Amino acid sequence: MAIVNASKKKGDDYYLSDDEALMRMMQRIEQLGEPGLLQRLRDAGDAGTDTITKSQFIGFLTRIGLLPPDILSIQRIVGFIEAIEKLKIPDIMSKIMQRASLR
């Protein structure tokens, strides 16, 4: 069983480790260059419906080189929790931008 150090900040759903994971993801996207995050999500998901499943999202994060603790943090940020299996890509982008603005 893995133990994750997820220090809490404001409220029960705000973890400082999530911020760090988000920063690592954005740095990795920047290092990879074009296309940007939005297009990469669309390429990984279903362009016809502009959605992405949880497994497609995990695959995308794995392909860009994120480690499992960061993948869990990013899933928490964008809303892939328990029974949620598919999200709209614009909603994911909105949650990422909203979270980044809290920093």
pLDDT band per the 50, 70, 90 thresholds, residue 2? very low
Question: Does a structural domain hold residue 97?
Answer: yes
Question: Does a structural domain hold residue 11?
Answer: no
d(CA 4, CA 85): 23
**Domain around 91:** 16-102
d(CA 55, CA 85): 8
pLDDT of residue 103: 65
What is the count of structural domains for the chain? 1
Per-residue pLDDT tens over the stretch 86-102:
999 999 999 988 887 77
Q: What percent of the chain has pLDDT over 70?
A: 84
Mean pLDDT of the chain: 83
Question: Does a structural domain hold residue 4?
Answer: no
Q: Is 99 exposed, middle or buried (0-12, 13-18, 19+ CB in 10 A)?
A: middle
